[in-house]
Chain A
């Protein structure tokens, strides 16, 4: 049996996941609890980026409205909590139901369009959700909503302490990674990938591509909704701000920086994004400027994002 990973990239990712698994312990040893917060937030965004990558990277459906699902998930925690319903299964069930339904209805319309029109219409729907929550005075409107307690789960599943919540997030991340890995290599995933490159051809091969793409869109929405549910629990304060279109744009950055259409790309992309955001904003308040320049450079010169660079090492190894 092979113990060492086959390639450089696989090695890096395995090491990365192993580090994430022991991160709370490391942070308690060096006594820097802030880093755990940062990492928890980063991993939630990574789950969202993974879900976006499923439609954007594998399916070629560039959505500029994916943050809506983060918001929907968060409010599926916030609104029940507002009425003192803290049952975690209720929150989770509601999240899956509402985000799935929203993806089904909007996806059914969005997927009738292509290219720029698809981008615009996904943006339009997410802005509709955004302004709906802004106008809901009962739930704080623009000012948002404070969640006083986290979702309640049985003791062994509790997300009360920061470390417990971190492992909740980490576990959801692992499940998402594994699920997407299986999905894209299964029959369903092959149809999604094939349709990205040549939808007409897929139809003439007998696939009703619309149904498959819509299903993929719903799966992606539900995963992102769950990320939103975790985000609601993590921040304990939610507002329409978290589903603004800039957040949707940031999710696209994360996917592209890491490498769209690759399993681990969005994960390392999110890590890079969160790190740069913290690091650059520490240096200057004009960090967006530097970040923007880096993005331009990446789009011009960096083929395939971080995953692309790592795979370049893989190929060199094979030749050498």
Chain B
């Protein structure tokens, strides 16, 4: 977190720097079938975040030592393209990307019906082309849509969204500027049909009341985002 500052990020009417109210989301678009050579894919823009996810498989799992006799394995790779950030991101090994890949995999393994595909692998590539704030949420949400597009069976899709705190006010879906001056960040991965969670992280400083408010913002936002996801998979049909 960027820590405390004197910068005023919320005006006297409660409006944020980009004109949103505290519980409002940035603009979101979702598109499927964007990587023609993949089995399933999704492009999601969220504010000025842009993420592309491609799914390959289920397919034969190589190398053999990674195979599981009783279920499929997910191979999740989250990566930020070198031109996705203001200062160029050096390609290669990166601890942050490794952690995000892992927690994304843990979240998705909770919903994909892995036991239907023993000895197989499902590969999920999350590529951030443009990063603003909250790329891990965009990646996880887009990965669910890409898995659905690939016909991979799941008990539910995962909707991921974060809320946080700026100028002692709890707000939903921090943008880049807010994230820089933010005092807390609470990303969650929510199953929209049951309200259960499969992904949870937090850093910063929140009182119990603030925490409850952030939690509720995420729950409400998840329902809205889920509607966009359903719309994209149904291609505008009822």
Please say whether chains A and B are actual partners in one complex: no
